[in-house]
Amino acid sequence: MSTDHGDDHGHHLPAVEDWPRGLGEASWWPFITALGAGGLYIAAGLYIVSGGDESTINPLFAPLLGAASVGTFLFGLYGWLYHAFVSTFWSRGSNETSAKALRWGMVSFLGSELATFGAGFGYYFFIRAGTWPPGELPHLLGSLVLINTAILVASSLTLHWAHVAIRNNNRRKFILGLLVTLLLGVVFIGGQIYEYYEFIIHSNFTFESGFFGSAFYGLTGLHGLHVSLGGVLLAIVTIRALAGQYSADRHVSVTTVSMYWHFVDVVWIFLVVILYAGAEVGA
C-alpha cells in the first residue's frame, strides 16, 4: 500500500515508494530505526575501548554517539509506527480479529520483556548472594527515587483514566489523560537522568563501580530505555487522538500501549524494592 493513493488526511511520509516491485511498500523508517539500534552497540564498544590508559579514542565519543543513537532509534520508531498505524487508520474498518491478534501480540512481547528483565535480576541476585556490600555504596533509597516512583505510579493511573474515558466515548477526558500521562513520563525520565548525575558526579558511583555498579546501571538503564519507548508510543497515541482517531469501538492501540506502560510501571516497583531498598539491607 502506498500513501501516494487515497485520502491520507494530509499526512505525508518520507521515502514511500513501491520498491522493489512486487515486494510491497518500501520505507526508510525501519532502516533508520535499525541504524539507531546498531549505533548503541558501537557506542558501547567505544566506551569499553576508550577506557584504557593507552587509548587514543576521545572518551566523549561514546556518550555522544550513544545519545545520538537513542535519538535516531526513537525517531525511526516513531516514523515507523506512525506510518503503520496513524496514516492508514482512516481507510481501515473495525476488525475484531485483528484487535485480538494485536492484544495477544503485545502479551507475547511482554513475555519476552519479562525474560529480558529476569536475566538482569538473575545477575543481581547472583552477586547479592555473595559478600555484601561489595564495596562502598551510595545512599540509593533517597527522596528522589521515591518521588520518581510516585510520578510513574500516577502516570499509570492517568493512563487508565484516559483508557476508561475513550471506552465511554469521552474524548475530552481521554486526550487530557494522555497529555498528563505523557508529561509525567517525561518528568520521570528527567528525574532518572538527574539521579544518574548525582550518583556519578557527587557520589563517584559509575557503571565501572564493581559488579553492583554494572547491575544497577544495567537494570535501571534498561528500564529507562523502556520508559522512553513507552513515551514514543504514548506520543503516537496522543497525536492520533488529537487527529480525531479512536472511539469506543476502535481503540485497540490504546489498550496495547496501556498494557506496555503498566508493565513498565510494575517493573519499576520491583526495581525499587529489590535493587534500591534490597541493596541497602545489610549494607
Is-contact 163 255, C-beta < 8 A?
A: yes
Is-contact 179 238, C-beta < 8 A?
A: yes
What local confidence, expressed as pLDDT, does residue 283 receive?
58
Give the residue among 267, 240, 259 at the shortest CA–CA distance from 104. 259
CA atoms of 244 and 249, how far apart (whole Å): 14
User: Cell numbers of 76, please?
Assistant: 525511526
CA atoms of 117 and 107, how far apart (whole Å): 15
**Ranges assigned E (strand) in 17-160:** none
- Whether 227 shows a pLDDT value over 70: the answer reads yes
- Whether 137 shows a pLDDT value over 60: the answer reads yes
CA atoms of 199 and 138, how far apart (whole Å): 7
What local confidence, expressed as pLDDT, does residue 55 receive?
63
Query: Considering only 14-23, 152-161, 264-273, which range has the smallest mean pLDDT?
Result: 14-23
CA atoms of 145 and 164, how far apart (whole Å): 29
- Whether 96 shows a pLDDT value over 60: the answer reads no
pLDDT, tens digit (0-9, with 9 covering 90-100), for 191-201: 999 999 998 88
- The HSE-up count of residue 225 (CA atoms within 13 Å, CB side) is 19
Average pLDDT for residues 203-226, to the nearest whole number?
Answer: 86
pLDDT, mean over the chain: 81
Query: Considering only 14-23, 137-146, 211-220, which range has the smallest mean pLDDT?
Result: 14-23
44: exposed, middle or buried (Cβ count in 10 Å: 0-12, 13-18, 19+): middle
What local confidence, expressed as pLDDT, does residue 20 receive?
36
CA atoms of 261 and 160, how far apart (whole Å): 10
Give the residue among 18, 15, 3, 13 at the shortest CA–CA distance from 88. 3
What local confidence, expressed as pLDDT, does residue 14 receive?
45
With cut-offs at 50, 70 and 90, classify the pLDDT of residue 29: confident
pLDDT, tens digit (0-9, with 9 covering 90-100), for 56-83: 777 788 889 989 998 898 888 888 777 7
